[in-house]
């Protein structure tokens, strides 16, 4: 029993070693490499100096542009979902205008995601694993797929109402908006994407003087201008 107690005390002492010995402490653990990587990343993050206001604006510029579009999507979704939850269209909004709001929302979201996947994410993925596609796609890309499944079902319903094939039933429309929880995924995605493009994350992948070359005067009034601007940013970043 005395020997056993001595062995226990030895193990306790070993586990009490300072953080420089994480490798030894985690030896034999299947998640050893991943855990060590997280520890090292945390150490690096702690050493990063605080950003000045000017530096923050530069690093946060892409997040601000993305948030501009995301706010429009949130606004459109809220109009549609509120109507479904209250079983009443917004005051002074005709059926035609309501359907147009829904279909425009879906069309713009589809275009937005297409631009991201074709022009923006591939460039960012060269340095940022958060935007990797393919067999082991990153979470943001997987969210796109989940969202689009729900979008297609909602679009099919709205088009059938627009064509006169069926009457608008807000209860049914609500089911389409909640089917599979894609609405929750959408809202999570809108927040997560902006956070990923935020200053504190972007600064990990590029020095300030180099990253500052990415800032161009992008017209945020249209998706095409945004895509062109971000493609240019990527060309500068990785040339």
Asked if 123 and 87 touch (Cβ cutoff 8 Å), the reply is no
pLDDT tens by residue, 138-147: 999 999 999 9
pLDDT-based confidence at residue 199 (cuts at 50, 70, 90) = very high
The reply to whether 122 and 211 lie within a common domain is yes
The reply to whether 76 and 23 lie within a common domain is no
Q: Which residue range forms the structural domain that includes residue 30?
A: 2-47
The reply to whether 66 and 143 lie within a common domain is yes
Task: Give pLDDT, residue 134.
Answer: 81
Q: Count CA within 13 A, CB hemisphere, residue 149.
A: 10
The reply to whether 219 and 234 lie within a common domain is yes
The reply to whether 42 and 67 lie within a common domain is no
- SS3 state at 88: coil
Asked if 190 and 143 touch (Cβ cutoff 8 Å), the reply is no
The reply to whether 24 and 59 lie within a common domain is no
Residue 148 tokens read as 């689009």
Alpha-carbon distances of 52 from 44, 57, 87, 199, rounded to whole Å: 19, 9, 49, 11
- Which tops the pLDDT comparison, 96 or 209? 96
Q: Which residue has the tokens 């064509």?
A: 163
CATH number, domain containing residue 109: 1.20.120
The reply to whether 36 and 78 lie within a common domain is no
Predicted confidence (pLDDT) at residue 46 exceeds the cutoff of 80? no
Mention every residue, 6+ apart, whose C-beta is less than 8 A from residue 37: none
Euclidean distance between CA atoms 232 and 110, whole angstroms:
22
Task: Give pLDDT, residue 191.
Answer: 98
**Integer distance in angstroms from the first to the last C-alpha of the chain?**
67
Q: Measuring CA to CA, which residue among 83, 110, 92 is closest to residue 172?
A: 83
Task: Give pLDDT, residue 235.
Answer: 38
The reply to whether 144 and 40 lie within a common domain is no
The reply to whether 20 and 59 lie within a common domain is no
Q: Which spans in 116-138 are helix H?
A: 121-124
pLDDT tens by residue, 90-112: 999 999 999 999 999 999 999 99
The C-alpha R_g of the chain, in whole angstroms, comes to 24
Number of domains in the chain: 2
pLDDT-based confidence at residue 31 (cuts at 50, 70, 90) = low
The reply to whether 109 and 158 lie within a common domain is yes
Mean pLDDT to the nearest integer, 188-196: 97
The reply to whether 28 and 9 lie within a common domain is yes
The reply to whether 114 and 41 lie within a common domain is no
């Amino acid at each position: 029993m005395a020997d056993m107690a001595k062995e226990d005390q030895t193990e306790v002492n070993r586990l009490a070693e300072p953080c420089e010995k994480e490798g030894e402490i985690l030896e034999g653990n299947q998640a050893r490499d991943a855990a060590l990587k997280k520890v090292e990343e945390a150490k690096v993050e702690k050493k990063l100096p605080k950003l000045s206001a000017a530096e923050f604006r530069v690093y946060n510029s892409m997040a601000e542009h993305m948030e501009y579009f995301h706010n429009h999507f949130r606004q459109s979704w809220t109009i549609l979902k509120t109507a479904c939850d209250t079983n009443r269209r917004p005051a002074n909004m005709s059926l035609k205008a309501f359907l147009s709001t829904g279909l425009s929302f879906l069309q713009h979201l589809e275009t937005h995601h297409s631009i991201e996947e074709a022009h923006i994410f591939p460039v960012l993925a060269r340095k940022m694993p958060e935007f990797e596609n393919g067999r082991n796609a990153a979470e943001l890309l997987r969210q796109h797929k989940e969202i689009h499944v729900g979008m297609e079902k909602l679009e099919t319903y709205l088009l059938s109402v627009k064509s006169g094939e069926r009457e608008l039933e807000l209860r049914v429309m609500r089911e389409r908006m909640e089917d599979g929880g894609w609405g929750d995924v959408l809202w999570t995605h809108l927040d997560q994407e902006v956070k990923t493009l935020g200053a504190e994350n972007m600064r990990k992948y590029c020095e300030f003087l180099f990253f500052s070359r990415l800032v161009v005067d992008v017209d945020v009034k249209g998706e095409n201008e945004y895509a062109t601007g971000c493609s240019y940013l990527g060309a500068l970043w990785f040339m």
